[in-house]
Amino acid sequence: MYLHLGSDVVILKKSIVGIFDLDTATISKHTKNYLTLAEKEGRVVNVSYELPKSFVVSIDDGRTIVYISQLSSQTLLKRFYSKFM
């Protein structure tokens, strides 16, 4: 099954490590450092150029990718647990 992250981006549900709220997760210095490093390494994919609200960490073929989404983490979690998505 797939999870729609916004725009035309979908990823496999089984590849998802976590779904995070951008406002609350980036309070931590460690999370900020992780996102900065991921960006420097080219592992960040902006799903939309609208105001970002969440990020999704996934592992696909041994490569960690961080998706920045305009959708809230609550919306993504609802989609994740939906039987129809």
Average pLDDT over residues 45-67: 95
pLDDT at 9 over 80: yes
- Centre a 10 Å sphere on the Cβ of residue 39 and count the other Cβ atoms it contains: 13
H/E stretch holding 77 = helix 73-81
Confidence of residue 83 (pLDDT cuts 50, 70, 90): confident
C-alpha Rg value of the chain to the nearest Å: 12
The DSSP 8-state label assigned to residue 14 in this structure reads G
Q: pTM, whole model, 2 decimals?
A: 0.93
Longest dimension (CA), the chain: 37
What pLDDT, on a 0 to 100 scale, did the predictor assign at position 53?
A: 97
Residue-range domain boundaries for the chain:
2-81
Contacts of 77 (CB under 8 A, 6+ apart): 19
Average pLDDT over residues 44-63: 95
Confidence of residue 24 (pLDDT cuts 50, 70, 90): very high
pLDDT at 85 over 70: no
Mean pLDDT of the chain: 94
